[in-house]
Amino acid sequence: MSKRIRVGIDVGGTFTKAVAMDIVEGKIIGKVTVLTTHSSREGVATGIVEALTELMQKHNFKRTDIELISHSTTQAVNALLEGDTAKVGIIGMGVGLEKSNIIRRTNIKDIELAPNKYLRTCYRFLDTSKYLQNQEVLSAISELKREGAEVLIISEAYGVDDPSNEEFVMRKSDIPATAGHELTGIYGLEIRTLTAAINAGILPKAM
């Protein structure tokens, strides 16, 4: 019978720690600690991969035995709690006839994280009833950067069904960017956008 392993990984300021649990037997089967890889070209993701690889090698289980990996970044969580977040540029997208409704659901205003601590946002809308043009995408990104955006999220109505427009805009971004469909497959545009905005706000801390 194949194993059913769940892995938890925490990225700290100095160390990255990973724990594996066999949920059939209900017990922890292994733990490892590696250095957090701030200086790696891929950021702390390198340390996450190293911890997971070492955990599998030392405790004799395979990728196919893993049914869930959950990871947290202490620095990123602390940044969120303390309001130490990057300003998020939001690009909302959809067909022109639904423009007002889409803007209402994707133009997430500044989010209060704690008393007097906010995740700051700025916003642009792109009409996807026609093919997106390079120049209009680059212009929107440039405008958001001029308003102080350090990271970018792209959220299109029904982007979970066809993420091609979101992916197109992401490829044009020269600052860290993420798309709504990458974070969740739910259809609620507002919740998807909010989730992506919070994730983006702590993205620089997690890299």
Report pLDDT digits (tens) over 128-168. 998 999 999 999 999 999 999 999 999 999 999 999 999 99
Side-chain half-sphere CA neighbours of 18 within 13 A: 26
CATH number reported for the structural domain that contains residue 60 in this entry: 3.30.420.40
Q: What is the distance between the alpha carbons of residues 54 and 201, in angstroms, rounded to a whole number?
A: 30
CATH number reported for the structural domain that contains residue 90 in this entry: 3.40.50
* Overall number of domains in the chain: 2
Contact by Cβ (8 Å): 159, 166:
yes
Q: What is the distance between the alpha carbons of residues 24 and 68, in angstroms, rounded to a whole number?
A: 13
Q: Residues in the chain, how many?
A: 207
Whether residue 89 sits in one domain with residue 142? yes
Given a cut of 80, whether residue 2 has pLDDT beyond it is no
Whether residue 158 sits in one domain with residue 132? yes
Whether residue 95 sits in one domain with residue 17? no
> pLDDT at position 194, please?
92
Q: What is the distance between the alpha carbons of residues 69 and 5, in angstroms, rounded to a whole number?
A: 9
Q: Note down the domain range covering 153.
A: 83-206
Please report which confidence band the pLDDT of residue 38 belongs to, taking 50, 70 and 90 as the band edges.
Answer: confident
Last residue of a domain, one of 17, 50, 79: 79
Whether residue 61 sits in one domain with residue 88? no
Contact by Cβ (8 Å): 50, 57:
no
Q: What is the distance between the alpha carbons of residues 1 and 35, in angstroms, rounded to a whole number?
A: 34
Whether residue 66 sits in one domain with residue 34? yes
Whether residue 65 sits in one domain with residue 102? no
Whether residue 47 sits in one domain with residue 20? yes
Contacts of residue 8, defined as CB under 8 A and 6 or more positions apart, other chains included, come to 18, 19, 21, 69, 70, 71, 72
Last residue of a domain, one of 32, 56, 79: 79
Query: What's the pTM?
Result: 0.71
Whether residue 190 sits in one domain with residue 125? yes
Report pLDDT digits (tens) over 83-139. 889 999 999 999 977 899 999 999 999 988 888 889 999 999 999 998 999 999 999
